[in-house]
Structure 1
Amino acid sequence: MRAVDTNVLTRYFRHDDSRQSPAALQVMSGPAVFCPKTVILEFEWVMRYVYRHPAQDIVRCLGTLLELPNVTIEDEQQIMEAVHAYQRGMDFADALHLAASRHCEELVTFDGRRFARRVARLGLKPPVTAPRR
């Protein structure tokens, strides 16, 4: 099994480098590929902020990645939950933090009421709260 980094995923999905993109395709087509969830988190950031891809394009890429039979995704269920919440308007990093915290009573953050309201509106768990004094 070979693990991949963010730049391999980026070249694989963007096809924008005449040397690296074919190499990324070869790696991603290999018999067994492992993708850490931190790579997926960084990939979403790179695609959104560096390349200015809209969320729906990123969701399509992540959906494709999740469907590749030769790719093992770390904490795949959490990634699937995060992608679903992202598709419904949540920030991807927040959605992944929430999915990873689903066994907890609450997710405590200073990020403000917007995150908490969105989680409540979408009916997601755990609830998001602010620290209490």
Structure 2
Amino acid sequence: MIGLDTNLLVRYLVQDDQAQSRLATKHIEGGDLFFINLIVLCELSWVLQSCYGIERKRLCEVFEKILATKQFVVQNSHLAWNALHAYQSSPADFSDCLIGHINQAAECSMTLSFDKSLKNLNHFRVL
């Protein structure tokens, strides 16, 4: 198994740099298994939305495909799926949804935050 950094995954998905995209595609489609950790998913969410203007609905589709792709082994994929479902039904950022689910899995009774967009998520208490 080979770990993937965010920038390689971005080049593969966006195909905006001919040389790097070609290399990323060659490796990712070469038949190996690839590990994607949760930090990469958070960075990917931020990069695709902030730098490429990808809308929420499209980002959800991208994450669903990543999570369903057999050659991608996503760290704690059940937490990523739970975060994705929360993200789809709230105004919160994906990373915040993931924080809540990671903390819940760690048996935290709640996660405190000042972020008002989290007020309707069960795992958070907004101060």
TM-score by length of 1: 0.85
Q: How does 1:106-125 map to 2 (within 5 A)?
A: 106-111=110-115, 113-116=116-119, 118-119=120-121, 124=122
Residue type of the partner of 1:84?
Answer: H
Q: CA deviation at 1:129?
A: 4.2
Q: 1:18 maps to what in 2?
A: 18
Unmatched segments (≥5 aa) in structure 2: none
Shift of 1:75: 1.2
Dislocated runs of 4+, deviation >4 Å: none
Note the residue ranges of structure 1 that are not aligned, 5 or more in a row.
none
SS of 1:101's equivalent in the other structure is helix
Query: What fraction of aligned residue pairs are identical, expressed as a percent?
Result: 26
Partner of 1:96: 98
Cα RMSD (Å) = 1.4
> Equivalents in 1 of 2:124, 2:43: separation in Å?
25
Which whole-Å CA distance do the structure 2 matches of 1:114 and 1:86 have between them? 11
Equivalent residues in 2 for 1:1-133 (5 A)? Answer: 1-29=1-29, 30-89=31-90, 90-102=92-104, 103-111=107-115, 113-116=116-119, 118-119=120-121, 124=122, 126-130=123-127
Q: Residue 48 of structure 1 aligns to which amino acid in structure 2?
A: Q
CA distance in 1 between counterparts of 2:117 and 2:66 reads 29
